[in-house]
Amino acid sequence: MSSGEATVAVDCESCPGDAVGRFQETVFQGRLEWSVAHSCAGGTTEICGRGAPPEPWRQALLDQCGTYRLRLQGTNPSDVGVMKVLRAGGTALGEVRRALATLRGDGLAGTEAELRLLAARLEDAGAGTRLSREQ
């Protein structure tokens, strides 16, 4: 399991002005899951989802927790094996070769959880990976 946490803006009818919640992203049982929790005098609200979170919350996670990079390393399966994993993960057909080249070069950038999920899938396909946090 992997997770990150950020403070994000949320809509709350009970709060005057800007309300904030705690956004978390995690890998659980081979899926990307996320949630936002907010508590105030009006009660507690939690919003949960699977897959890609709303972009403003994802960006808050990148801003507050840092960007990570995933690279292929060591012995890797054929390009076809890596491309199958990328396609199964939602990479558009026209972008698969570019994503493969990026994995072999500078690395794909993203949140820790989403890249840990991709790394696990690539490793299951026989690829060696390296995940690092950008400084």
Write out the residue range of the structural domain in which residue 40 sits. 2-65
Task: Judge if 31 and 43 occupy the same domain.
Answer: yes
Collapsing DSSP to helix, strand or coil, 85 comes out as: helix
Domains: count for the chain: 2
Q: pTM of the predicted model, to two decimals? A: 0.88
Percent of the chain with pLDDT over 90: 72
What count of other Cβ atoms lies within 10 Å of the Cβ of residue 2?
A: 19
Please check the confidence at residue 2 and state whether its pLDDT lies above 60: no
- Cα-to-chain-centroid distance, residue 108: 11
Task: Judge if 79 and 49 occupy the same domain.
Answer: no
Task: Judge if 10 and 50 occupy the same domain.
Answer: yes
User: Residue 1 has what pLDDT?
Assistant: 43
What count of other Cβ atoms lies within 10 Å of the Cβ of residue 103?
A: 23
Q: What is the mean pLDDT of the chain?
A: 90
Collapsing DSSP to helix, strand or coil, 105 comes out as: coil
Task: Judge if 106 and 76 occupy the same domain.
Answer: yes
Task: Judge if 85 and 115 occupy the same domain.
Answer: yes
Please check the confidence at residue 121 and state whether its pLDDT lies above 90: yes
